[in-house]
A and B are shown apart, each in its own frame.
Chain A
Amino acid sequence: MSLVRRSSDLLKPFTTAASTTSFLNSRRHFSTDDTTTITVETSVPFTGHNCEPPSRSVDTTPTELMKFFTDMALMRRMEIAADSLYKSKLIRGFCHLYDGQEAVCIGMEAAITKKDCIITAYRDHCIYLGRGGNLLQSFAELMGRQDGCSNGKGGSMHFYKKDACFFGGHGIVGAQVPLGCGLAFAQKYRKEDHVTFAMYGDGAANQGQLFEALNMAALWDLPAILVCENNHYGMGTAEWRAAKSPAYYKRGDYVPGLKVDGMDAFAVKQACKFAKEHALKNGPIILEMDTYRYHGHSMSDPGSTYRTRDEISGVRQERDPIERIRKLVLAHDLATEQQLKDIEKLARKEVDEAIAKAKESPMPAESELFTNVYRKGFGVESFGADRKELRATLP
């Protein structure tokens, strides 16, 4: 349990974490100010569809700026470590990495509460972390160990955190969107003041079920926010080869939309704040986050047969979300270059420690094969591969 606290310390402003004594002792204290307002301009203005876009000027605080940096550095480190673990075969099956897209989930979390729901597809590790998930449970799940967030039974594509209203973690492209509208349906049914962010990619954007659910969400004024993380490639297929209209923020037709620079955490924050206000009053809205994934679709995809290495390195140089925050932190004199490097080193250390601990976590007990088939099994029997050799009574 202490590890849970430890990780969430890392997601809080850095000076409150236990391991910051070196920082506090350093010659220069970096700002932990929660009260000073810094105004940041988004990289580009928002483009609205059937709505008046919000302002480019986003208010933030030194605390929030530092948190963005720290959190994104941790997420980046986690994904890169997962790459190595997959290559050393400690992670099996599918592994879809989020590095490059961190600003979307970080910006979103900054605008919402843990009572607002998030649901996404299979590129879910960082979203899980953003919702308050911890590194140990993340790596243990990836390696199929009992301390994983799904007890090792779900794997990379199936992370959940219900107590923080994170509903997974879904393997079938597009399915999470109607599910997200369903979460919004329940929120409205219960007259909650909360919204749901249903995340999907440019590949899923063409799924029919999305439009079916969107129609109903609009008809019934559900507080559903559809967030298209447009990283421009649906597995190996570029957006222009899959969509007649890749202007995903306009695809809702009668549903308003906003196009957002998804590599700019403050643009994302502003957009999500705007969307939440809209959804609570007027029903669904679509946010298109213009983002990019550095890795291929999954670890089985090199990611370079359908895009050039120049394109990938170009985005990394010009639009990297963490670099953007680094520049802002330095420009506002909130920390030194060295301090930021130290934060990244610490992130690396935290990730390494979590991996080491996750490796020690045992594989799930054999009896776990039969747990959680039902919430209530009524004592029904279930069977192993040889029904006369292995059977169980479901509780």
Chain B
Amino acid sequence: MLRIIKQKISSRGLSAPVIGGYTHRLSPVASTIRHFSSAIKEMLVRDALNSALDEEMAADSSVFIMGEEVGEYQGAYKITKGLLDKYGPERVVDTPITEAGFTGIGVGAAYHGLKPVIEFMTFNFSMQAMDHIINSAAKSNYMSAGQINVPIVFRGPNGAAAGVSSQHSQCYGAWFGTVPGLKVLVPYSSEDARGLLKAAIRDPDPVVFLENELLYGESFPVSAEVLDSSFCLPIGKAKIERKGKDITITAYSKMVGYALKAAEILEKDGINAEVINLRSIRPLDRATINASVRKTNRLVTVEEGFPQHGVGAEICATVVEDSFEYLDAPVERIAGADVPTPYAANLERFAFPQIEDIVRAAKRACYRSVSTAATA
């Protein structure tokens, strides 16, 4: 049994799509000889999300947006800007500040075949709606033996912003990632934002779409293919942002940027790091992660969320289970500090991973000497 599974992992290439039945929609591009402009366009993550919402709403009239300030205010973070004017108040619905209520309403609408995109102003507020996300959305298809699927997307900023203190800074990736029946996506770049949001909206199951406020204003190059309205990314596939051979660094959301910067620093020290942008926490792309670790033999997991029972813990477990003999060093975990997020700027800096933390952990995994540890 073990051997069969091992074979499956090693033979599965990086290009194979995973569970969910969603394949990369390359056919229009491949079959027609289209010449795309060779100029590299830059796109803000905010605009990537906005354009994805716009295009999916144009393509499917059952898609609607619901949340606080999404309409007249143009979105608390301007992600839904212009959509009320374009699609009207029936499809861009401003709600009172009542997450439990409107999430339940959204899930109910999804039961009846609509495709809601529910915005949480931040995922901290999703805790008010947890019962509906988990019990009403995630478990329905199973409990009803497939009669009631829930094609809903829950989206909004997740994790820390800057100086917003403990009640507004938590990362919910690990929490939602625990639940079977949910899909949990974590875009980093504008390409991720567009491709994954479109995939999420088209997906027949409940998708938790964890954005990041500090990434909204970041700009990324996007190819013409990404800008095409048919563009979509597969759910459950990680992306290798940077190829390397000495160590694997996994990250998601804002931490991908940090990991890439850490990789540049490590390069100067002769350590060639491979950076994996998870893109999906559930399903977790165990194949890509394991294939990478089998190549590099060392792993650092990076996340913003709390360490205990975090995403890194699951990645470590999966690698120990499937690629134990390939590990040349213990798995290193870099995560948010095990404390509620403090407000003071200097303390907040210690509460979240910094680039030097990733560099240090990578060097440890490579058995390079590092400066002596500081204990509080």
Contacts and interface: CB of A to CB of B under 8 A. Distances in A.
**A, B: real partners:** yes
Interface of A: 92-94, 144-146, 150, 152-155, 157-158, 170-174, 203-204, 206-209, 234-237, 241-243, 305-306, 363-364, 366-370, 373, 382-392
Given A144-B163, A236-B73, A385-B354, A153 B97 contact: no
Contact of B96 (A157, A170, A243): A243
9 smallest CB-CB distances across A and B, nearest first, come from: A92-B163, A93-B163, A155-B343, A171-B167, A144-B344, A152-B344, A236-B73, A392-B376, A242-B96
Contacts of B346: 144, 363-364, 366
27 contacts: A93-B165, A94-B165, A144-B344, A145-B344, A153-B165, A154-B343, A157-B165, A157-B167, A158-B165, A172-B128, A204-B97, A234-B97, A235-B68, A236-B69, A242-B95, A306-B73, A363-B346, A368-B344, A369-B342, A383-B335, A383-B338, A385-B334, A386-B353, A388-B361, A389-B357, A390-B374, A390-B375
A369 B343 contact: no
B50 to A, nearest CB: 18
B336 interface: yes
Interface string B117-134: 000000011011000000
A367 B73 CA distance: 41
Contacts of A241: 72, 94
Contacts of B73: 235-237, 305-306
Interface of B: 68-69, 72-73, 76, 94-98, 100-101, 124-125, 127-128, 161-168, 307, 332-340, 342-347, 350-354, 357, 360-361, 364, 373-376
Contact of A306 (B72, B164, B337, B343): B72
Given A158-B165, A158-B167, 5 more contacts: A152-B347, A171-B165, A203-B97, A237-B72, A241-B94
B337 A385 contact: yes
A363 B376 contact: no
Contacts of A305: 73
Contact of B350 (A145, A174, A369): A369
A93 B161 contact: yes
Contacts of B333: 387
A93 B167 contact: no
Contact of A385 (B69, B96, B342, B353): B353
Contact of A206 (B98, B163, B337): B98
B253 to A, nearest CB: 15
Contact of A370 (B94, B168, B339, B353): B339
A242 B340 CA distance: 32
A71 B95 CA distance: 37
Contacts of A237: 68-69, 72-73, 94, 96
B353 A93 contact: no
Nearest to B125: A172
A93 B213 CA distance: 12
A243 B94 CA distance: 12
Contacts of B352: 385
A172 B167 contact: yes
B343 A373 contact: no
B339 A369 contact: yes
Contact of B164 (A94, A153, A363, A364): A94
Interface-centre pick from A234, A242, A386 (highest chain B CB count, 10 A): A386
B307 A383 contact: yes
Contacts of B342: 152-153, 364, 368-369
Interface-centre pick from A235, A242, A389 (highest chain B CB count, 10 A): A389
Given A369-B376, A383-B307, A392-B375, A363 B360 contact: no
Contacts of B168: 93-94, 157, 171
A274 B376 CA distance: 52
A306 to B, nearest CB: 7
